[in-house]
C-alpha cells in the first residue's frame, strides 16, 4: 500500500497542501483550476512528477487561474521566512504563544493577502 498524505485545509483562505510519495500526482490541474473554493495551492513534493499538476518547482506566490501557487522551492523559502518571523515575534514578548491561526495569519500577511 502506498503511503500518501494529502491534506486539504480550510482556514482563512481555502488552501490545498500536497505532500506525498515521489512519483505520485495527488491533484490534477483541472481539479484545482476549476475549483471555486480553493484559493491557495502548495506542493511540497520536490521529486517529479509534481504532487500538484501545473505547480512549478520555483513558484512563489504565482497567480494562476485565480489561485496563489507555491512549489516546493518557493514553499521552502516561505517556510523558512515564516519560521524566522515567528521566532522574532517570540523575542518581542516572553509570554507570547503562537497558535496555528496566528501563525497562519502571519504567513498570509507575508504573501500579501
Question: In a structure prediction context, what are the per-residue pLDDT tens digits for the chain, which is 113 residues long?
Answer: 233 223 333 334 688 888 888 888 999 999 999 998 888 999 988 888 889 999 999 998 899 999 999 998 987 887 888 999 999 999 999 899 998 888 888 888 887 65
pLDDT of residue 6: 33
Distance CA 70, CA 87 (A): 22
Four-CA torsion 46, 27, 54, 65, nearest 10 degrees = -130
Domain 5-110 has CATH 3.40.50.720: yes
pLDDT of residue 13: 61
At CA 76, angle to CA 100 and CA 74, rounded to 5?
110
| Domain range annotation of the chain | 5-110
Whole-structure pTM value: 0.66
Distance CA 93, CA 91 (A): 6
Amino acid at each position: 500500500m502506498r503511503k500518501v498524505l494529502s491534506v486539504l485545509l480550510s482556514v482563512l483562505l481555502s488552501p490545498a497542501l500536497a505532500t506525498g510519495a515521489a512519483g505520485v500526482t495527488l491533484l490534477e490541474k483541472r481539479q484545482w483550476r476549476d475549483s471555486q473554493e480553493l484559493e491557495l495551492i502548495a506542493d511540497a513534493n520536490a521529486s517529479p512528477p509534481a504532487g500538484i499538476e501545473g505547480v512549478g518547482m520555483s513558484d512563489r506566490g504565482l497567480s494562476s487561474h485565480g489561485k496563489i501557487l507555491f512549489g516546493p522551492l518557493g514553499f521552502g523559502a516561505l517556510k523558512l521566512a515564516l519560521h524566522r518571523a515567528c521566532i522574532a515575534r517570540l523575542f518581542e514578548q516572553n509570554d507570547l504563544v503562537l497558535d496555528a491561526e496566528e501563525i497562519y495569519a502571519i504567513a498570509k500577511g507575508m504573501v500579501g493577502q
